[in-house]
Amino acid sequence: MNTIKSSGRIALIDNIRGIIVIAFLALHAFWGNTQYDLPEWITHNGHVADIPIMSFANIAIMDFGPVAFYFIIGLTIFMSFNKRVERDGKKAAYSRYLLRNAVLFSITKIILFVRSKVTGGDFLEWDNICSIAFVGFLLMLFMFDCIRKKPYVRLVLGIAVLAIYKLAYKQIMFLYSTNGGIGACIGFVGVVLITSYIAELARESILKHAILTFLLFIVAWLVSTTIEKPDFSDYNMAYMVMCLFGLNLVYFIFSIIDKFFLKGKEIPIIAPLGKSLIFFLYLTFITDAIKYFMDPLSLTQSSISFFVCLFAYLIIGYFFGKKKIIVKL
């Protein structure tokens, strides 16, 4: 990892990324090695159909988590890559992109190896960050000029990828392992491509973003009611589409807040967390490992763990913000 001064950032994206860091921390603090059960509308249990507000989506709040990473990636990846090509040239941009994902995958495997030795877990476990790196490699196939410079082409390709994911689901998910595995990465690529189009449209006007959000609602509803129910445990196509709708809805709401209230400004302390997203995800893995050495936690213990870690994160975020520092690969 290297430390650089921040510049040319989009405050809205960094604010959302910072909130995701806190949500990820909360998920790891309150879910796992605990003595209590979380409400069905929050946790990964696949039994939300009887809850009116969640019956349409058929997935719980936590279930949006895995796809949220790829939604965030899709908001900036092609824009960032295009800027790097303009600044450093294609060869340097491609080389750095490949190296970054290779390092990301390697660091994750090292952490999993250490954790397996400490906790007795499986070194071969396919972690969420393994998927992020692997999806990064797959996205190289879509970095040609005729694709990365044309949002409509990325939209069509994203829809096509999700269609193929649905049609060849059984064959693709043969590659399944924990956290969605290699198979689910195909669907995640479709999410990134479609999200990149959403990002372009959202930057044009809130009205266009609102219309797109409504259309996504219609598509998600049709898929859920006529093709298949969203299922987090299977990472099926309907799950990907429903997460796209839900996450875009959140993005649309934050866009309104950003335009009329924040006026394009960063949220102090929160935005610096988002700028160093991967760093804090790794930090969360380290804090999460502590739970393996404790008896199942009570709600009070989980709450204390969460607020202590949150306080530490906010202190780091304050320092990063004050010094205008980003920690990234």
Count the Cβ atoms, other than its own, within 10 Å of residue 187: 28
Q: What are phi and psi of 176, to 5 degrees?
A: -65, 140
Q: What is the pLDDT of residues 147-182, one digit of tens each?
A: 999 999 999 999 999 999 999 887 777 665 555 578
Instruction: Give me 264's structure tokens.
Output: 């394009």
Q: How confident is the model at residue 54 (pLDDT cuts 50, 70, 90)?
A: low
From residue 123, alpha-carbon distances to 24, 112, 118, 119, 162 in Å are: 22, 5, 11, 10, 30
Residue 14 has a pLDDT of 94
**At a CB cut-off of 8 Å and minimum separation 6, what does 294 contact?**
33, 301
Q: What is the pLDDT of residues 275-306, one digit of tens each?
A: 999 899 888 877 776 676 777 888 888 898 88
Residue 123 has a pLDDT of 63
Cα-Cα end-to-end distance for the chain: 4
Instruction: Give me 170's structure tokens.
Output: 């059984």
User: Whole-prediction pTM value?
Assistant: 0.91
- Mean pLDDT across the chain: 86
From residue 145, alpha-carbon distances to 84, 151, 275 in Å are: 13, 11, 27
In the predicted structure, residue 2 carries a pLDDT above the cut 50? no
From residue 216, alpha-carbon distances to 57, 201, 211, 224, 313 in Å are: 13, 13, 9, 12, 34
- Residues belonging to the chain: 329
Strand partners, 327: 3
In the predicted structure, residue 127 carries a pLDDT above the cut 80? no
Strand partners, 5: 325
Residue 49 has a pLDDT of 52
Q: How confident is the model at residue 7 (pLDDT cuts 50, 70, 90)?
A: very low
Residue whose token pair is 């049709």:
222
Helices assigned H by DSSP within the chain: 11-30, 52-55, 65-88, 90-119, 128-138, 145-148, 151-167, 169-172, 181-204, 206-222, 237-257, 270-275, 277-289, 299-323
Q: How confident is the model at residue 3 (pLDDT cuts 50, 70, 90)?
A: very low
Residue with the larger pLDDT of the pair 108 and 96: 96
In the predicted structure, residue 73 carries a pLDDT above the cut 80? yes
Q: What is the pLDDT of residues 240-271, one digit of tens each?
A: 999 999 999 999 999 999 999 999 999 999 99
Lowest-confidence region among 123-132, 158-167, 200-209 = 123-132
- How many CA atoms are closer than 13 Å to the CA of 313, on its beta-carbon side? 31
From residue 104, alpha-carbon distances to 61, 94, 115, 143, 214 in Å are: 27, 15, 17, 19, 36
In the predicted structure, residue 114 carries a pLDDT above the cut 60? yes
